[in-house]
Structure 1
Amino acid sequence: MDEYLWVLKQSEADLVREIEPDRMAALDEDGLIDLHRRVRRARNKHTKNYRRGAAKQVEESGARGAAGPKGGKARLRAEAFEEALSLVSARLAAVAHEQAEALKVERLARAQAGRSTGPGSSPSGSGPVDGPGLPATHQKTTGGVKRDASSASQGARRQAERDSR
């Protein structure tokens, strides 16, 4: 990355210096996300500027191949931020993966200890709970109180008819 610093302005060079390994190691996931956003914006800006300049050069020179060598500094700036973005992206991916693994281990430990905090979980893992340490009371239903009452009354009518014979 040092080969590009001579092309960059002071504020841009400061942004590129933020991706040094020891400085990035001090950042947490949120800090890396912020750095990634800033580097991506700078990369997009310089890539856009380089492409616009190259497009103007194509009109003047009449060929894309002849226009390429004239955008030296703009192309170097775009390359610098492209490389910086790849480094930040790789570090962010590694940190996010580590954090996801840590959360997974914590979740599994809670589940094994019977203290899962997920929806519908109970200390014994047997289903939802009504209160602290109490299993849920099971109420048999087919989808509605009215339908259950109707079904029960039909059963009672059938039984009464049988009993009257």
Structure 2
Amino acid sequence: MNQGLLNSLTDAERMLAAETERDALKGLDEDELLDLHQRIRRVRTKYVKNYRRGASAAVVPAGGRGKSYPRNQRDRDKAELFESALARVSRAVATAAGRASTRLRSERIEAARAAKSAAPAKSAAPVKAVTERAMPATGTKVRATKTTGGLKKDASSRAADARRQAKRDAR
């Protein structure tokens, strides 16, 4: 990070950027990381929006995009700074989510094993094989009904279609 950019940050932005350093991210849990991610994304979006608005407004007075490019350097640098901070936080969120997923999976497996060992042994009763699902008689086809979720709405739609067709037929 260059010194000019650090000097252009407000205290709140400087503190927010410091929260994304590796040592600061280690002590956060998944929910805190998600909260930080949202705050970083909000600030990044603000500076991207400011940069785009300023860049588009500066093209005509400067005489072209190339000539207007240097005029909006501060917002562009801030957007880039918060984009890299967002990437760091996103990686930390992904790592925390992976750890949580692994932990939950192992807990579920242990619970299933405990339930299996605590359950009584199954009897040797014959198991019915389900060979045929609830199918209609042979030769009839199950027809999917086209519905939008309400009988009145469907009737209204059919009536509107009929009126439209009648109008076309009358031409």
For the superposition of Structure 1 and Structure 2, which TM-score range results when normalised by the shorter chain?
0.5 to 0.7
Unaligned runs of 5+ residues in structure 1 are: 117-121, 127-141, 144-165
Deviates more, 1:57-66 or 1:85-94: 57-66
Query: CA–CA distance in 1 between the matches of 2:119 and 2:21?
Result: 46
Map Cα deviations across residues 15-44 of structure 1 (whole Å, 9 max, x no partner).
Answer: 100111111111100100100000000000
* Residue type of the alignment partner of 1:73: R
Q: TM-score, normalised by structure 1?
A: 0.67
TM-superposed deviation, 1:6: 2.5
Unaligned runs of 5+ residues in structure 2 are: 123-132, 135-171
Aligned-residue sequence identity (percent) comes to 41
What's the Cα RMSD here? 2.4
User: 1:65: which partner in 2?
Assistant: 66
Query: CA–CA distance in 1 between the matches of 2:28 and 2:2?
Result: 21
Matched, 1:55 2:56: yes
User: 1:28: which partner in 2?
Assistant: 29
TM-superposed deviation, 1:69: 1.3
Determine helix, strand or coil for the equivalent of 1:102: helix
Determine helix, strand or coil for the equivalent of 1:19: coil
Matched, 1:113 2:88: no
Bigger-Rg structure (1/2): 1
Matched, 1:38 2:43: no
Q: TM-score, normalised by structure 2?
A: 0.65
